[in-house]
Amino acid sequence: MIINNVGFDHCHDADFFIDRPDGSGDYLLLLVRSAAVFEINGKETVTPAGSVFIYPKGRPQRYRCVPYNVFENDWVHFDFVSPDEEEEFLSMGIPMETPVQMSLEFLSYCVKSIAYEKYSDNPCSAETSDLFMKLMFIKIRERALNKVAGRRSTQFELISTVRNKIYSRPYEQRNVDSTAHEVRMSRSAFQHAYKKHFGMTFIEDLVRSRVSYAKMLLSTTNMNINDISTSSGYHSYVHFARQFKEQTGVTPSEYRKKAQSVT
């Protein structure tokens, strides 16, 4: 797969509009966090916040802000290296030129990761971006199929959204009570449901997400370890170091040395 261009967390003013009568010369994936107006088959359609929209190659692209509102989105311009790869994508039956309403947390994480890979010098960046794109396609298709079949599990979707948040933003301060309130569940019901769906408690998963994030920072940056502790959501370095060693078997300093020796 070819990533021609990618951007995330863009916020455009109320006069923003796109008008490409012949398209952009490639496929376009949009994750739109604000309400928006899309022209579909000559008719304007207002799409709600939290919509995915894919333009096929060669199709007109016309979309804009809802009056007096901003336009917030992530986007990927992409194409395929061969007709077979394109046919594989088309055979998935993902809706195109049709808004798909769904949680954007995980998809936005994928777009940010693709942007990082595109502008990095990682030797496997193309393969990594390809996998992130395929993950997004699968989740969009899954959402479209669930909507058609009416098999939506509200509880699972809500809890999955929370899990996506703690892995995409592990530095945010959370506890069981505030997160249970966020998904409109009692403390006990939330903890039971979380362990049922993911095989571990919310706190155990939160610790995993923070340690995983810290491992990434330790192996890919030169940040001071105390700063990494803070950036991973910890107020105390001692607490961070203890949980890190419990999860990995080594201290943060030892982990960094091993990671640097490999690279």
Angle 71-31-154 from CA coordinates, rounded to 5° = 115
Average pLDDT over all residues of the chain = 91
Amino acid found at 58: G
Fold of 2-149: Jelly Rolls (2.60.120)
Q: What is the mean pLDDT of residues 50-58?
A: 94
Map out the domains of the chain as residue ranges: 2-149, 154-262
* CA distances to 80, 90, 149 from 116, in Å: 20, 26, 36
Contact 27, 6 (CB under 8 A): no
DSSP at 58: T
Question: pLDDT, tens digit, for every residue of 72-83?
Answer: 999 999 999 998
User: Would you say the C-alpha torsion 89, 95, 98, 99 has a positive or negative sign?
Assistant: negative
CATH of the structural domain 154-262, one choice from 3.40.50.300, 1.10.3720.10, 1.10.10.60, 1.10.10.10? 1.10.10.60
Contact 26, 61 (CB under 8 A): no
Question: pLDDT, tens digit, for every residue of 108-147?
Answer: 999 999 999 998 888 999 999 999 999 999 999 988 887 6
pLDDT at 152 over 50: no
pLDDT value of residue 262: 67
End-to-end, the C-alpha distance of the chain in Å comes to: 27
Percentage with pLDDT > 70 across the chain = 97
Question: Would you call 2 helix, strand, or coil by DSSP?
Answer: strand
Q: What is the mean pLDDT of residues 39-43?
A: 89
Does 154-262 match 2-149 at the fold level? Answer: no
Reported confidence tier of residue 151, pLDDT bands at 50, 70, 90: very low
